[in-house]
Amino acid sequence: MGRKLLTENINVPGIQSLSVYRHQGGYETLKKAVGMTSEAIVEEVKKSGLRGRGGAGFPTGLKWSFLAKPEGVPRHLVCNADESEPGTFKDRYMMERIPHLLIEGMIIGSFALGANSSYIYIRGEMMYVLHILQRAIDEAYEAGFLGKNILGSGFDFDLYVHCGAGAYICGEETALIESLEGKRGNPRIKPPFPAIKGLWERPTVVNNVESIMAVVPIIKMGGDEYAKIGIGKSTGTKLISACGHINKPGVYEIEMGIPVEEFIYSDEYCGGIRNGKELKAVVAGGSSVPVLPKSLILNLANGEPRLMSYESLSEGGFATGTMLGSGGFILMDEDTSIVKNLWTFTRFYHHESCGQCSPCREGTGWMEKLLHKILDGHGTLSDVDLLWEIQSKIEGKTICPLGDAAAWPVASAIRHFRHEFEEYVTNPQNIKKDHHYYRVNNISPEFA
């Protein structure tokens, strides 16, 4: 049984409330933090090796140290709770179950950054979670953990929750900032980076929900102790959203470095593939990362077991590896059509593109059309080649990573499962279309 730093008290009855949270030791770490200097807190986060849990995996302490501190200019910490990545639902789960852990992390982080007002930007579809957070924030104000002179430290701090409108693009930090300012959520060209000019052109740090929650156990136990958990540069624990064709879907907290095979097949975690089927493929970090077939997700190219860590999953680059990303583990059994799954992903990215960059705006649409053509039985082998060419024209050529997120699944699906695309082209009469395909296309199966 691995260590649980974030979910240890997740099932304690009433843990949403301040009284129960405090009874379990809540806000004791805040008392420790306000007795430290801001520099000391940042240093502990650096020592911990904590990497951003929203997908990019950038060292959190290093990101904090980049924050500009011009005289007389306010600074802000913004929590990215716009969890929009298909296959990822860990942040919603944590905010719903133990909201005060996020609030405590926000206070400690803001104290370390010298931010007197900070924001939680939450996805619009999660309105019920917003109400849970707001109740917890109100409790924290009443108890003196928010507001003026927190715990007699002289630190004044206000925390606000802002509701987005359900745009995937607002998960990108500069688009989130634009939306928070009341504008259309288009990504900004960088530089300047948010650490220099962010919210209202003030120095700003944007961190994911899990990253901010992880600050609490780091300060509680110390950065060096936290760094002893995990493996290599993948320290600490990680929340994984596991879904798809498994016996036990859910949110799991793992110690970084356990074997992928153990995570998939052990009863402690996913419990194996449902209905006794064989595993076919895995999307390891949410829909935006490359899909890997069973052989490559369980083992490295050299035959060594692949581990649940940033380094191990990316071993071999995109030729044979993938990314841990946001930890959205989507598992597919032997009956899954990779082409249909890819079409679903591509429809999503076409719909969610903000349209600011022409490679993404036009390319995602073309990829969706080509996949639809192939699925409909009218594709050609040259269409598969064209799909490959289009994705290569998108990757690395847009302001934000949404273009990459749309291109990588296409590239990996063709790289590892080209034979399935060719089967749709050469033997369309043998391909069984399911009702989901007809429903989303408003086609009657009788006339297909």
pLDDT for 434: 59
pLDDT for 444: 46
What is the CB-side half-sphere exposure of residue 279 using CA atoms within 13 A?
25
Closest CA to 51 of 398, 326, 304: 326
- Distance of alpha carbon 247 from the chain centroid: 23
Query: Which tokens sit at 393?
Result: 């024209």
Q: What are residue 367's phi and psi, to 5 degrees?
A: -65, -40
The CATH number, out of the four listed (3.10.350.10, 3.10.20.600, 3.90.1200.10, 3.30.420.40), of the domain defined by the range 232-333: 3.10.20.600
User: Is residue 1 a contact partner of residue 232, using CB atoms and an 8 Å limit?
Assistant: no
What residues pair up with 333 in beta bridges, in sequence order? Answer: 279
Q: How many Cβ atoms sit within 10 Å of the Cβ of residue 353?
A: 25
End-to-end CA gap in the chain: 51
pLDDT for 446: 42
Would you call 369 helix, strand, or coil by DSSP? helix
Q: What is the CATH number of domain 18-222?
A: 3.40.50.11540
pLDDT for 301: 84
Work out the angle between the directed axes of helices 90-97 and 99-113 (0-180°, nearest 10). 100
> CA 21, CA 23: separation in Å to the nearest integer?
5
Work out the angle between the directed axes of helices 338-352 and 402-426 (0-180°, nearest 10). 140
Q: What are residue 358's phi and psi, to 5 degrees?
A: -65, -35
The CATH number, out of the four listed (1.20.810.10, 1.10.3720.10, 1.20.1530.20, 1.20.1440.230), of the domain defined by the range 338-447: 1.20.1440.230
> CA 387, CA 363: separation in Å to the nearest integer?
9
Q: Omega of the bond prior to 259 within 30 degrees of 0, cis?
A: no
pLDDT for 428: 77
pLDDT for 447: 38
448 residues of the chain, pLDDT tens digit each: 689 999 999 999 999 999 999 999 999 999 999 999 999 999 999 999 999 998 888 999 999 999 999 999 999 999 999 999 999 999 999 999 999 999 999 999 999 999 999 999 999 899 999 999 999 999 999 999 999 999 999 999 999 999 999 899 999 999 999 999 999 999 999 999 999 999 999 999 999 999 999 999 999 999 999 999 999 999 999 999 999 999 999 999 999 999 999 999 999 999 999 999 999 999 999 999 999 999 999 999 888 999 999 999 999 999 999 999 999 999 999 999 999 999 999 999 999 999 999 999 999 999 999 999 999 999 999 999 999 999 999 999 999 999 999 999 999 999 999 999 999 999 877 666 655 555 555 554 443 3
The percent helix, strand, coil of the chain (3-state, each to 5) is 50, 15, 40
Q: Omega of the bond prior to 191 within 30 degrees of 0, cis?
A: yes
Any idea where the domains of the chain sit in the sequence?
Answer: 18-222, 232-333, 338-447
Closest CA to 198 of 73, 41, 353: 73
CA dihedral 137, 140, 144, 145 (to 10 degrees): -90
pLDDT for 94: 97
Q: What are residue 51's phi and psi, to 5 degrees?
A: -115, 145
User: Is residue 261 a contact partner of residue 75, using CB atoms and an 8 Å limit?
Assistant: no
pLDDT for 445: 43
